[in-house]
Structure 1
Amino acid sequence: MPIDEILKYVGLLGAFLYLASYFLLQAGYIGGNSKVYTLMNLVAASLVLISLSTAFNAASVVIQVSWILISVFGIVRMYFLYRRIQFTDEEMEFINEQLPKLPFHLARKLLDIGIWVEGDRGFELTRQGERNNSLIYLKSGRAEVLQNNIHIATCGPGSFIGEMTVLSDAPATATVRLVSTARLLCLEAEALRALSQSEAAIASVIQNSFSRDMRLKLEATSRHVGTMNQVDMGDCT
């Protein structure tokens, strides 16, 4: 195959990587500050630059060289930035479970607005009709969800409490009360809203975590309602 033909495909591969990285960014799969996005752009610019060796275009060369230099700067910056960031084992567990796509420096920002606490049985995490001061992550323990004093669901380890209303600052739709001792991460609500507005990547990852958590809660509630219906039918026979 002629070298010109090979270089044409090299350039097309570079263009594909440019488009793929931008699509993944817009779709929320990667962040603008992520290593994946930076590396994809670095490789894309390098491939396009190589393809220009037989079809020189000054403007294109300047753009690709600039893109390479900016990408290298971003990688070096992330290296020194991440090297200073430290997490406890508990924080890393939370990140891996709930924020796997969030860059470490943004995860550090998020965790810095929170505090880990122990909760006693009977403690109310939210109260129906009142605004939540914190978004709560239930690391261990269990909590019951009550609407109008009627038990409708149970939250187990890995659940968020208050995710439906904390970002909108709306009143809680249910009361959530611990039914056992628990380990909790409390993220201050006002600071969380401000951080979500200033950091799009944090807002995207949080919403994805909320959506996943809500799906699991709805499935659990459906199973609970189904069990209650079976019990009621059994009582009637």
Structure 2
Amino acid sequence: MTAMIDELLHGLSNPVILFGHFTYFLLIASMLMRRMVTLRILAVASGLAKIVYRAVFVLDPVSVLWEAIFVLVNVVQLGLIWYYEHHHRFDEEHQHFADNMPDTVDRSAIKRLLDLADLERYAPGTVLTTEGMAVTKLVYIADGIVKIEHGDRVVAICGPGDYIGELSFLSGNPATANATVVKPCRALVFDQAKLTAAIANDAQLRRTLDSALNKNLAGKLSRSNNQMPTAERAA
């Protein structure tokens, strides 16, 4: 054990061995990135560094081949990201939806999710969900205000970036509260049956939606105490 530690410490003074460690450092750093583009760029840098290390210093052609394939895959993925960034531009409501997605979500998955949504406009007084009734739509608020009532009590105020009907979508249960539009709303509306069928056949789409809903639920919980005075005024 002591000999192994001594060998490791001795290697830290060798530039070639340090370069080998650096290639793995880049790979680990890429795995820590939240943004997919940054992850891919660091992965490519790691792969290229490993190719140099394996080809020049270690002379391992098998590793060079697989590192080259690794680099190629990540370059292709970067190209796809660039394509979707430049050829699938969003309108205002869709861009709002995309901007509120977690940083780790791939843009192509967002585009596929948005293809399932319809843009709707709701006037004040429109009821989006009724307590105890089945919910057939998942609503994303791009603009406007919706109050959430449980019984006769206003329990929350939802605004841009919030979902309405997400608990029913996740659980399959009827609505647990009434959701009523307070200020004119522009919303992206997903038919729950179509959305359920789509994510059943697309694991990436399911992860994208789960990430978005979990992020929104966490945000609602953190805001709930601060929103109570506002909710009472809206009532």
Give the CA deviation at 1:176: 0.6
C-alpha separation in 2, matches of 1:217 and 1:18:
36
Amino acid at match of 1:6: P
**Percent of matched pairs sharing the same residue:** 20
TM-score, scaled relative to structure 2: 0.78
Indicate the residue corresponding to 2:107 in structure 1.
104
Query: Which consecutive aligned stretches of 4+ in structure 1 deviate over 6 angstroms post-superposition?
Result: 226-229
Q: Cα gap change, 1:181/1:197 in structure 2, threshold over 3 Å: closer, same or farther?
A: same
Distance in 1 of aligned mates of 2:20 and 2:199: 38
Greater Cα shift, 130-139 or 218-227: 218-227
What does residue 4 of structure 2 align with? none
| 1:72 and 2:75 are equivalent in the alignment | yes
Rate the CA distance shift 1:227–1:55 in 2: closer, same or farther, 3 A. Answer: closer
Range with bigger deviation, 122-131 or 108-117: 122-131
Q: Flag structure 1 segments of 5+ consecutive residues without an equivalent.
A: 230-237
Opposite residue 115 of structure 2, the aligned amino acid is D
**Could you say which residue in structure 1 is the equivalent of 2:121?**
118
Q: Distance in 1 between matches of 2:187 and 2:50?
A: 50
**Deviation at residue 36 of structure 1 after TM alignment:** 3.0
For residue 100 of structure 1, report the CA deviation from its aligned partner. 4.4
Residue aligning to 2:16: 7
> Cα 1:100–1:199, aligned 2, differ >3 Å: closer, same or farther?
farther
> Is the CA contact (8 Å cut-off) linking 1:85 and 1:104 kept in structure 2?
no
Secondary structure of 1:54's partner?
A: helix
Amino acid aligned to 1:167: L
When residues 224 and 58 of structure 1 are mapped into structure 2, their CA distance, relative to the original with a 3 A threshold, is closer
Unaligned runs of at least 5 residues, structure 2: 1-10
Give, as a single letter, the amino acid of the residue that structure 1 aligns with 2:142: K
Aligned equivalent of 1:19: 28
Matched, 1:214 2:223: no
Measured in 1, the distance between the counterparts of 2:81 and 2:102 equals 18
How far did 1:228 drift?
9.7
Q: Amino acid of the residue matched to residue 144 of structure 1?
A: K
Q: Tell me the residue number matched to 1:36.
A: 38
| 1:165 equivalenced with 2:168 (yes/no) | yes
Q: Measure, in 2, the Cα distance between the counterparts of 1:191 and 1:122.
A: 27
After superposition, the C-alpha distances for 1:3-45 in whole angstroms (9 at most, x for unaligned) are x932322222221232343455xxxx35xxx433332221111
Cα RMSD (Å): 3.0
Whichever residue aligns with residue 8 of structure 1, its letter is I
The residue number in structure 2 matching 1:235 is none
Number of equivalences: 220
Q: Pick from 122, 128, 131: which aligns with 1:128?
A: 131
CA deviations over 1:42-96 (Å, ceiling 9, x no partner)? 1111111111211111221121122223333333344445443232133223211
Question: 1:177 Cα deviation (Å)?
Answer: 1.0
CA contact (8 A) 2:93 2:187 kept: no
Q: Does 2:185 correspond to 1:176?
A: no
